[in-house]
Amino acid sequence: MRSLLNAWSWLFLILILGFFEIYAQTQTGSTLLFRIYNLQAISIAASQILLLGLGLTLVIVAGHIDLSIAFSTGFAAVVMALIVRTAGADAGWVTVILAMLAGLGAAALVGAVNGWLVAILNVPSFIGTLGTYGIARGAALIVAGGATVSIRNDHTRAFGNGDILGLPVPLVVAAVLTLVCHYLLKHTRFGAHTYALGANRASVERAGVNVKKHLILLFILSAFTAGIGGLIYTSRFSAGAANAGEPILLYAVAAVFIGGASLTGGQGTITGTVIGAFIIAVIQFGLVFCGLPPYWQFVAVGLVIIVAVLVDQSKDRLMGGKS
């Protein structure tokens, strides 16, 4: 029953692809789906959403939320950009890689603080991560001097705008992380404990699982994947900004719930989040393709989130009726 109910996301993706393709064919005489440039743009947009959504999926499956991922992204972006700018335009790959590691370390620190607040101090994850959302943003702005940190470096540009076997680097990075997170959630004891934690925390504790350690690791993973999004941002745009991930936060949350995650935890898949990310990316690109102003994207995504929550509630009622 659950698999049938979750199939709506696949159907919705097909429907919006069909709608925008028909619009393109009839109104512009062009095509949306059969141009490499369009597909590449949609894929890159989806990969940006995924980099924030992958770790968030793990946290939501465990019955929590992480609102600070946007500024884990921004913190990582600013730290990387500052180090590369300090090293100069001629900085080599070693320096760039060290700058990336420092950025990821900064993001992971945000995740560790989140985990400590939620697991050790028992602060509700919504409140705790909302607090670190502000702290991380402020820290990034302080470190950056309140401005965007611009850089000039061929190696960072190659990482953000290059390709591997004809595929954009951001898409390849997102694909690799997707496979890792899928395996972690579906085929490891860690993943099984994550699902169980979202379904019934008390039973997990009785089974002897170190729940506090598990939660801390989940929040670190969430911040880590979001931090990789920050590295991609800095590399693509040759700049580090404290608000680098802010526009994507809504999209990432939407992707997770569109993909079948539950507000109460215990449900959700990486595959579902991938579908959700592509749904959002198609909506973004399709609305622009139709000539609508960009701010309509937020309206559309907000409506999709409401629909996803309604579907989730209906699913819970149906599953409850079957039990």
pLDDT at 323: 46
Give dist(CA 139, CA 91) in Å, integer.
Answer: 25
Decide if 269 is inside a domain.
yes
**Number of domains within the chain:** 1
Decide if 190 is inside a domain.
yes
Q: Which domain holds residue 207?
A: 2-12+34-316
Apex 67 CA angle, 64 and 68, nearest 5: 120
Decide if 118 is inside a domain.
yes
pLDDT at 307: 79
> What is the pTM for the complete model shown?
0.90
Mark the ranges of the chain whose per-residue pLDDT is less than 50.
Answer: 1-2, 4-5, 323
Decide if 218 is inside a domain.
yes
Residue 146 burial by CB count (10 A; 0-12/13-18/19+): exposed, middle or buried?
exposed
**Helix 270-289 × helix 36-61 angle, to 10°:** 140
Decide if 24 is inside a domain.
no
Q: What is the pLDDT of residues 43-66, one digit of tens each?
A: 999 999 999 999 999 999 999 999
Short-list 279, 52, 32, 73, CA closest to 181: 52
CATH number at 168 reads: 1.10.3470
Decide if 18 is inside a domain.
no
Decide if 251 is inside a domain.
yes
pLDDT at 245: 86
Decide if 29 is inside a domain.
no
